[in-house]
Amino acid sequence: MREARVYIVSDSLGETAERVAHGAAIQFQHDAAIHIIRVPHLADATGVEHIVEQASQGPAVIVYTMVRPELRALLAQLAGERNIKHVDVLGPMLEALETQLGVSPRLIPGLSHQLDQEYFARVEAIDFAVKYDDGKDPRGIRQADVVLLGVSRTSKTPVSLYLANHRLKVANVPLVPEVPVPSEVFTDGRKKAVGLIIDAEVLMGIRQQRLKSLGLAARAQYASMERIMSELDYAWDTYNRLKCPVIDVSNHAVEETATRVLELHRQGGIGS
């Protein structure tokens, strides 16, 4: 089996280049062993020379994201002289934007990772989504920006976390016929509520797969059509009482559902 090293070089953390490298390496995983080595916070010419020297010792590729043009140019020059394959992930994009906008970039490493207000808002929203997941504490409904409702396996949790990355605080509430909907949903949550619905056949397939993954019988009541129809009827009854928007998640990715919720929020359809 062939082997190669991929050096991830950055004057910041190198996460962007590493994701690119992993995405490419996985395409060769059955035929080659690719070792990814991350070298973050590279700040001077000596560091560049050291990495190029290491890479020259065997089959290697250098993937780099550096904002300082002199370091990018030096790495390209030295790697070229040693016939080492090198990929500049960030440079072409910076140059394209500079040409298009007629404005020079700030050239400050790590700007995307600065602990700014937006970052803390996102972390707070993620913590909120975890704390008030699956109806753990209905008191979170008052503080939430969005309240998601739906029967089991309608992607409430992943949609909540996706929205949290857009700084929305989301509480989600499971709908089970035997369990009354928390009163807070009809008071504090009425204008924030979004219902998630799904095709019964699709839901039955999802639940059967879930039971199999847990080593349980796929014919359990949880995945029966009778039970599913009962839960979906209960969900529709709840949505009609709330008069809330409803999103069909059948065969839709989490991102698609979350994007629709974001649109509703931005347009003032919920949370206003």
Single out the residue of 55, 111, 108 nearest to residue 85, CA to CA: 55
Domains of the chain (ranges, CATH numbers): 2-113 (3.40.50.2300), 117-266 (3.40.50)
269 or 6, higher pLDDT: 6
CB within 8 Å of 163: residues ≥ 6 apart: 125, 129, 146, 170, 258, 261, 262
The beta strand positions in the chain, using DSSP E, are: 2-10, 32-39, 60-65, 85-88, 146-150, 170-174, 193-197, 246-248
Q: Are 262 and 245 in contact (CB under 8 A)?
A: no
Read off the pLDDT of residues 188-208 as tens digits, 9 standing for 90 and up. Answer: 999 999 999 999 999 999 999
Which strands form 85-88's sheet, in the order they lie side by side?
32-39, 2-10, 60-65, 85-88
| Cα–Cα distances in angstroms (integers) from residue 187 to residues 91, 119, 179, 182, in the given order | 52, 31, 18, 9
Q: What is the pLDDT of residue 31?
A: 87
216: pLDDT confidence band, cut at 50, 70 and 90? confident
Q: What is the pLDDT of residue 112?
A: 66
29: pLDDT confidence band, cut at 50, 70 and 90? confident
Residue 182 DSSP class:
P
CB within 8 Å of 174: residues ≥ 6 apart: 134, 135, 149, 150, 151, 152, 156
Read off the pLDDT of residues 144-174 as tens digits, 9 standing for 90 and up. Answer: 999 999 999 999 999 999 999 999 999 999 9
Q: What is the pLDDT of residue 116?
A: 62
246: pLDDT confidence band, cut at 50, 70 and 90? very high
The fraction of the chain above a pLDDT of 90, given in percent, is: 75
Across the range 216-241, mean pLDDT stands at 94
Q: Which of 39-48, 141-150, 206-215 has the highest mean pLDDT?
A: 141-150
Across the range 226-233, mean pLDDT stands at 97
Single out the residue of 121, 137, 130 nearest to residue 189, CA to CA: 137
Give yes or no for residue 211 having a pLDDT over 90: yes
CB within 8 Å of 134: residues ≥ 6 apart: 156, 157, 172, 173, 174
- Beta pairing, strands 170-174 & 146-150: parallel
Model's pTM, two decimal places?
Answer: 0.62
125: pLDDT confidence band, cut at 50, 70 and 90? very high
| Distance in angstroms (rounded) separating the CA atoms of residues 13 and 72 | 16
Q: What is the pLDDT of residue 114?
A: 57
Q: Are 40 and 15 in contact (CB under 8 A)?
A: no
